[in-house]
Structure formats: C-alpha cells, structure tokens
Amino acid sequence: MAEPATATQAAAPAVSLLKDELDIVIPTIRNLDFLEMWRPFFQPYHLIIVQDGDPSKTIKVPEGFDYELYNRNDINRILGPKASCISFKDSACRCFGYMVSKKKYIFTIDDDCFYLGFCYYGQKLNPLIVLMGDLDTLVQICVAKDPSGKAINALEQHIKNLLSPSTPFFFNTLYDPFREGADFVRGYPFSLREGVPTAASHGLWLNIPDYDAPTQLVKPLERNTRYVDAVLTIPKGTLFPMCGMNLAFNRELIGPAMYFGLMGDGQPIGRYDDMWAGWCTKVICDHLGLGVKTGLPYIFHSKASNPFVNLRKEYKGIYWQEEIIPFFQQAVLPKDCTTVQKCYIELAKQVKEKLSKVDPYFDKLADAMVTWIEAWDELNPTGPVPNGKAA
C-alpha cells in the first residue's frame, strides 16, 4: 500500500477549521460511497444528508462519518403542511438541510463530485488519473494541487473565502486582495479596503463543466482543464449563475435566501434550483451590503448528466430566464427590509406581481417562498437561538 497518510497530513491543519461551526449538506439518491474520497477532509465535520426519492430505500453511509439523514417521511413529519415548499425528486431538496442545520456555515456538494481536483505530473494536468487505482492510493496521489505543487483543500478554501471580507463596490484587478501575496492595487479607494462580510463562496468544477443542455449537446466532449488560481468578489449590481454543486455560505448572514425553489416532481422545470437561489441571494446580498465570492476551490466533477433529460427539465427555464433575469436586475428592495427574511418576503411579493404573468408557476413559487420563510423561522426561532441573527 502506498502512503495515504501523505495527503491526510497535508490537509490535517485545515481539516479542523470551523469543525464545530460548519455542516456539510449532501442531497442524494444513492449510497454515499463517494464520501470515501473525501474522508480525510470531511470526517471531522457533521454531515446532513437529504435523501431524495423513495424514502423506504436505505442509503448506505460509509462508517466513521458523523451524520443525520432525512428522507421524505422525515421532511413531512418535521414540516407538516409546510413540507410543500421542499422539492421532491430533485436535488433542490438539499435546502431542507440548510433549514435544519444549527451551524453558522454550510458547505454543500453533489454526490458525483470528487475533491480530488486534478494532478500535475510535471507540467501536465491529468485529471483522469483519479479514475484509476484503489481508494487509498487515489487520496494519496490525487489530492488537488495548485500549480506550485502544494496540496489544496476545497473545504479549507471555502472557509478562507467566507472568513475574509468581500469587495463588491470596486474591482481589484489582482483579484481577492485578502489572499496571501495579494493586496489592493494602486487606485483602490482606502475607504473601501475594509470590505464587507462574505455571505457566500461559489466554487468551480474541473472536468465536466456546468453547462446547460444545449451546450452539452453541442459540445459533448468539452472538459474544463483550466485551473484559474483566483477568488474574486462578484461586484454589486451584477448577477451570476450560482451552481449548487460546490457551494458554501454563512447561514447566519444569508441562510433564509438559499431556498432552492420548486423543482422536480410535479413541477414544470428542473435544474434552476440553484440559479433561483443565486439570483435571490445576490439581490439580497447587494441590498444588505454582503459579499459573494467565486473562483477557488475546484472540485472534480466526474459525471455529465444526460443532456436529453436535462433539456426536458430546462427548456422552460431557458425561455423564462430571459424575463426572470431582467426582473432580478431591476428588483429594488425598500430600506425597511433589514433582515434576510424581510428581503425574501418582499422578493416573493415582487415575484408574484411581476413574474406570474410569465407563467402561473411563479405564483405557486412565490407562495412557496413565503412558506419556506415561515418554516425557516419555525425551525430557527430568532432571539434565544445562538446561531440566529437578531431580526
């Protein structure tokens, strides 16, 4: 056996970062063998597993992980009629995990994503090596490395992103000024150098990029092999397509905005759950003076989803987003919206007013947004709960 301890040791100092303040939320329909890949990095953390689909099926979680698991029966039992706001047969169900968490930070990841990232052999980027060898060896040889050969840790990078401020009001050309070896460049106003709290950290994907069905169909063989060694704040007033595959956020600062909408079973669209959450989150962050970062860390996305199935799920969204995005770009929240909850309820009202004419679905979605906040507040009463932000 090779020396699996190498990777583990390299990652050791990072592993315990925020150990008692962060939950890892994973939506799944299958046994969680993929967790073996992440063992050195995830094992110290608490996992919240949201089981989608048939609740009678038993999901196998590898030994040694500390987790709680919720299936549809649990969701119905805990939320009662309000369970209607949680999607079924769609990974959007993950947001139930955000709601039941009692931690300050959330990291969420899909169950087809490997931490491993990519490997440098000499100067060659070689992501496919992760598909070979036994698991211990994989972890040893394939822990993601930056171009200098230093091992990196996805979760550690998200935590760094979340713990350092964001700079949404002015662009820094050397990217995140809070990273080691970087700073604000000449011409950056000193009054803005303190930054603002970071609410969300959006990580990227090597190998299978997060493309829509039409692009998947047109470019079936395209793989992302470009490692961009950057983290940057998405400027105020700019929307972005937030992907839920590799995402971390500060639950106290922005949790109630991370609603993944109504997707999957009985709904006219899918694959817009994270997009919806991203649009709402960004508008609210901009209003409340919070930051959103994107860039590092990369995860290795192993399996492309079926583009034909995706097209069926997406086609209405592709059409609707042409109206949804201008809606969010123009959305203005009144000054008295001083909490995420108030902002979200206000957004729900505006969705009902302005998007219902696009399709009756948005009327239903606006109602679900309100239900989501009611359920959130029920499970997270403000005031006495240490993690709850005073409303």
Question: In degrees, to the nearest 5, what angle opens at C-alpha 335 toward C-alphas 332 and 339?
Answer: 95
Q: Which long-range contacts link 63-68 to residues 24+ away (Cβ below 8 Å)?
A: 64/39, 65/35, 65/39, 68/100
Nearer to a copy of itself, 105 or 211 (CB): 211
Contact call for residue 237 and a copy of itself (CB under 8 A): yes
Binding residue (CB under 8 A) for a copy of itself from 147, 289, 334, 381: 147
Part in contact with a copy of itself (CB under 8 A); list of ranges 24-32, 90-98, 170-178, 377-385:
170-178
Told to check if 235 binds a copy of itself by CB under 8 A, we report: yes
Using CB under 8 A as the binding rule, whether residue 239 contacts a copy of itself is answered as yes
Q: Does 234 bind a copy of itself (CB under 8 A)?
A: yes
Q: Which residues contact 207 (CB under 8 A, 6 or more apart)?
A: 118, 127, 223, 224, 225, 300, 301, 302
Q: Binding string to a copy of itself for residues 278 to 307, with x set by CB under 8 A, is what?
A: x---------------x-------------
What is d(CA 333, CA 338) in angstroms, rounded to the nearest whole number? 10
* Smallest gap from residue 187 Cβ to a copy of itself (A): 3
Cβ-Cβ contacts under 8 Å for 267 (sequence gap 6 or more): 87, 90, 361
Q: Which phi and psi (to 5°) does residue 269 adopt?
A: -140, 165
CA–CA separation, 149 and 93 (whole Å)? 37
226 binds a copy of itself (CB under 8 A): yes
Query: Helix (H, G, I), strand (E, B), or coil: what is residue 229?
Result: coil
Q: How far is the CB of 238 from a copy of itself (least distance, A)?
A: 4
Q: What's the CA gap between 345 and 130, in Å, rounded?
A: 45
CB of 279 to a copy of itself, least distance (A): 9
User: Segment contacting a copy of itself (CB under 8 A): 15-23, 151-159, 241-249, 356-364?
Assistant: 241-249
Q: Which of 219, 303, 349, 357 binds a copy of itself (CB under 8 A)?
A: 219
Output the smallest distance, CB 1 to a copy of itself, in A: 26
Is 241 a binding residue for a copy of itself by CB under 8 A? The answer is yes
| Per-residue mark of binding to a copy of itself, 5-34 (x: CB under 8 A) | ------------------------------
Number of residues in contact with a copy of itself under rule CB under 8 A: 64
Helix 35-42 and helix 154-163, axial crossing angle in degrees, nearest 10: 50
Work out the angle between the directed axes of helices 5-15 and 135-142 (0-180°, nearest 10).
Answer: 60
Q: How far is C-alpha 178 from the geometric centre of its chain's CA atoms?
A: 22
CB 87 within 8 A of CB 29: no
Min separation Cβ 275 and a copy of itself, Å: 4
The structure tokens listed for 349 are 């009202």
Contacts 24+ apart (CB under 8 A), 127-134: 127/206, 127/207, 127/223, 127/225, 127/300, 130/300, 130/302, 131/302
Binding letters toward a copy of itself, positions 120-139, x by CB under 8 A: x-xxxx--------------
In contact, 316 and 271? CB cutoff 8 Å:
no
Nearer to a copy of itself, 129 or 318 (CB): 318
Comparing C-alpha atoms, which of 144, 112, 109 is closest to residue 25? Answer: 109
Residue 238 within binding range of a copy of itself, rule CB under 8 A: yes
Contact characters 172-191, a copy of itself, x per CB under 8 A: xxxx---x-xxxxxxxxxxx
Residue 367, token pair as written in the block: 């109602």
Among 20, 33, 229, 265, binds a copy of itself (CB under 8 A): 229
- 236 near a copy of itself (CB under 8 A): yes
Q: What does the alpha-carbon distance between residue 103 and residue 24 come to, in Å, rounded to a whole number?
A: 10
Q: Does 321 bind a copy of itself (CB under 8 A)?
A: yes
Residue 272 makes contact with a copy of itself by CB under 8 A: yes
Contact positions toward a copy of itself, by CB under 8 A?
120, 122-125, 147-149, 170-175, 179, 181-191, 202, 204, 209-212, 215, 219, 222-230, 234-243, 271-272, 274-275, 278, 294, 314, 318, 321-322, 325
